[in-house]
């Protein structure tokens, strides 16, 4: 019988066990303070995470600690399934998206300097081409992760939402042209961002509104929002594993996102 160590999986496992690969957790901690997207009227809003304690070694369960919880599908680090958007209504939900599409390379595009100057900054085609000139063409079946630096605000609700004097959230996103380019020219699996949504805070006023949602989901691609620890990823080569709950016809799901990175 062939030893597992001589196989591709064996090499991967050895890499993890012997710390030749680092497993990076790209997930925000879920608790009652975890930020959730807040949309203006007429939109109905989602609930954040809430614990309902069942017992903690007490009269309700002397030997065990456990809880119920309630949470929106789009709470904390989470998945936006194609079916989340009207343009993708015939596409996959969280339970039907092929598991093969949950694993891919992360192409991490750093726009932190531009976002520091302009919080409304949207990743554009020029940024993608600049990235490709330095790091090679973005392959199909990969993720484009927008490193905006916004995760540093995830425990500061005021900064995380950055509501301006105009009442609008001023947070970075992805332009319409870049969204179309990633779908049509690069055939990626999806995009990942550090903010509450894959579109800019002010993208409700864009044409079409929320263009990243519109074009990605229309093409049966998905979104990953509220990522953490993106600064621990190299521009190319990290392997992402995305794990949505298998909610029947779910439009989204809280996620635990892992990245395997070479080296330690
Ligand atoms: Mn969402």
* Counted domains in the chain: 1
Longest dimension (CA), the chain: 68
Domain residues for the domain of 149 are 20-33+73-262
pLDDT of residue 41: 80
Q: What is the pLDDT of residues 137-159, one digit of tens each?
A: 999 999 999 999 999 999 899 99
On whether the CB atoms of residues 225 and 196 are closer than 8 A, the answer is yes
58: its two tokens? 């007490």
In a domain, 51, yes or no: no
Q: How far apart are the CA of 204 and the centre of ligand 1, in A?
A: 14
CATH classification at residue 208: 3.50.30.50
b/e code 206-221 from CB counts within 10 Å (16+ = b):
beeebbbbbbbbbbbb
pLDDT band at 264 (very low <50, low <70, confident <90, very high): confident
pLDDT of residue 5: 60
Q: How far apart are the CA of 79 and the centre of ligand 1, in A?
A: 6
pLDDT of residue 6: 74
In a domain, 8, yes or no: no
In a domain, 64, yes or no: no
252: its two tokens? 């989204």
In a domain, 251, yes or no: yes
Q: What is the pLDDT of residues 82-107, one digit of tens each?
A: 999 999 999 999 999 999 999 999 99
pLDDT band at 72 (very low <50, low <70, confident <90, very high): very high
pLDDT reading at 67 higher than 60: yes
In a domain, 239, yes or no: yes
Q: What is the pLDDT of residues 2-33, one digit of tens each?
A: 565 679 999 999 999 999 999 999 999 999 99
Average per-residue pLDDT in the chain?
96
pLDDT of residue 36: 93
The pair phi, psi for residue 108, each rounded to 5°, is: -100, 110
In a domain, 45, yes or no: no
In a domain, 231, yes or no: yes
Q: How far apart are the CA of 264 and the centre of ligand 1, in A?
A: 32
Those residues whose beta carbon sits under 5 angstroms from the ion ligand 1 are 74, 80
Dihedral sign, Cα of residue 250, residue 256, residue 260, residue 261: positive
Catalytic residues: 84
pLDDT of residue 95: 98
DSSP, res 93: -
Q: How far apart are the CA of 166 and the centre of ligand 1, in A?
A: 23
Neighbours of 87 (CB within 10 A): 17
pLDDT of residue 4: 59
In a domain, 186, yes or no: yes
Q: How far apart are the CA of 136 and the centre of ligand 1, in A?
A: 30
Q: What is the pLDDT of residues 165-221, one digit of tens each?
A: 999 999 999 999 999 999 999 999 999 999 999 999 999 999 999 999 999 999 999
């Amino acid at each position: 019988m062939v030893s597992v160590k001589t196989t591709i999986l064996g090499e991967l496992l050895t890499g993890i066990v012997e710390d030749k690969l680092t497993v990076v957790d790209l997930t925000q901690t879920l608790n009652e303070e975890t930020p959730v997207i807040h949309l203006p009227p007429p939109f109905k809003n989602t609930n954040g995470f809430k614990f309902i304690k069942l017992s903690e070694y007490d009269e309700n369960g002397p030997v065990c600690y456990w809880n119920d919880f309630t949470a929106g599908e789009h709470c904390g680090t989470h998945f936006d399934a194609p079916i989340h958007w009207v343009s993708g209504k015939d596409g996959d939900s969280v339970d039907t998206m092929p598991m093969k599409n949950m694993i891919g390379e992360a192409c991490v595009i750093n726009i932190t300097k531009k976002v520091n100057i302009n919080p409304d900054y949207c990743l554009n085609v020029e940024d993608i081409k600049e990235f490709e000139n330095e790091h090679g063409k973005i392959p199909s079946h990969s993720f484009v992760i927008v490193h905006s630096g916004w995760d540093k605000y995830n425990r500061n609700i005021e900064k995380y939402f950055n509501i301006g004097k105009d009442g609008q959230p001023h947070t970075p996103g992805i332009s319409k042209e870049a969204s179309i380019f990633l779908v049509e020219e690069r055939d990626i699996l999806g995009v990942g961002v550090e903010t509450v949504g894959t579109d800019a805070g002010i993208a409700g006023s864009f044409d079409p509104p929320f263009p990243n949602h519109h074009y990605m989901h229309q093409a049966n691609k998905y979104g990953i929002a509220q990522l953490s620890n993106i600064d621990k990823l190299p521009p190319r080569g990290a392997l992402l594993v995305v794990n949505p709950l298998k909610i029947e016809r779910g439009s989204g799901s809280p996620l635990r996102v892992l990245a395997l990175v070479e080296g330690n």
